[in-house]
Amino acid sequence: MKSILQSLYLLQLLDTELDELRELRGDLPETVNTMESELALVERRIEEIDEALKRGATERSMKEKESLELIDKIEKYKGQQLEVTNNREYDALTREMETAETTIVTNEALVQEWIEQNEELKASKEQFATRREELSKELEVKREELKDILETTREEEIGFEQRREQAMSEVLDRDMQLYKRIRDAKGKAVVPIRRESCSGCYNIVPPQLILEIKKNDRLFTCEHCGRILVSEEIALEMQL
């Protein structure tokens, strides 16, 4: 039993160390993730704008080409009108010319609309490009920071994790579940008795209970905070 108590206490020591390492990293990994997602969005938006600009340019040149062709046609109709022999043919050509003129006017309006839209798209692309540049720079700094922290803590972390695995394998599943439950609720699950008190909640531990705990043959929890209590002896023996 004593070895299980030792393992539980060791597990707590290792988890405390790992918590501190993660604390050191803070929300940096999360920040980097968020920034990466935003950058991807901005880049996609820029691509979409480029596509819209390209589509608009194609459409514009099509309409302009059509209008030029229609101008040629109108000239041709005018020539034909000089040669027709009856009013019916003359009127038919007039109608053709009117239709062509209407299309030219419509095309001009479309081109004008496109020019305005083009300006808006370019302005918005410029804004996104500025944001992309800002983000890329910030992201580079944050990634570098994270990389430095990871490099300096990685070896230590791996060491702690390996010892943690080992300690876990020496604890019964049932005790491990209890450990996890208390840890989730309280942060620390295993605490030694210090100065006749629980070092988790600082409440006095009754002398009779201290005697029992000192035997290191059973698992006791603090009646105030519910943490697993171990003797000072175990705390002294088990140090990282």
Residue number with CB closer to Zn ion (222 or 234): 222
Residue number with CB closer to Zn ion (39 or 225): 225
Identify the residue among 13, 70, 100, 222 touching Zn ion (CB under 5 A).
222
What contacts 24+ positions apart, CB below 8 Å, involve 116-122?
117/56, 118/53, 118/56, 121/49, 121/52, 121/53, 121/56, 122/53
- What is the nearest approach in angstroms of Zn ion to the Cβ of residue 203? 5
Residue number with CB closer to Zn ion (176 or 225): 225
- 186 binding Zn ion? (CB under 5 A): no
Contact 227, 201 (CB under 8 A): yes
- 176 binding Zn ion? (CB under 5 A): no
In which residue are the tokens 């060491």 written?
159
Contact 234, 6 (CB under 8 A): yes
List the interface residues with Zn ion, window 201-220 (CB under 5 A).
201
- 200 binding Zn ion? (CB under 5 A): yes
Torsion of CA 15, 17, 21, 24, to 10 degrees: 110
- What is the nearest approach in angstroms of Zn ion to the Cβ of residue 200? 4
Q: What are phi and psi of 86, to 5 degrees?
A: -135, 165
Residue number with CB closer to Zn ion (10 or 189): 189
- What is the nearest approach in angstroms of Zn ion to the Cβ of residue 225? 3
Structural tokens at position 194? 């210090």
Interface residue list for Zn ion (CB under 5 A): 198, 200-201, 222, 224-225
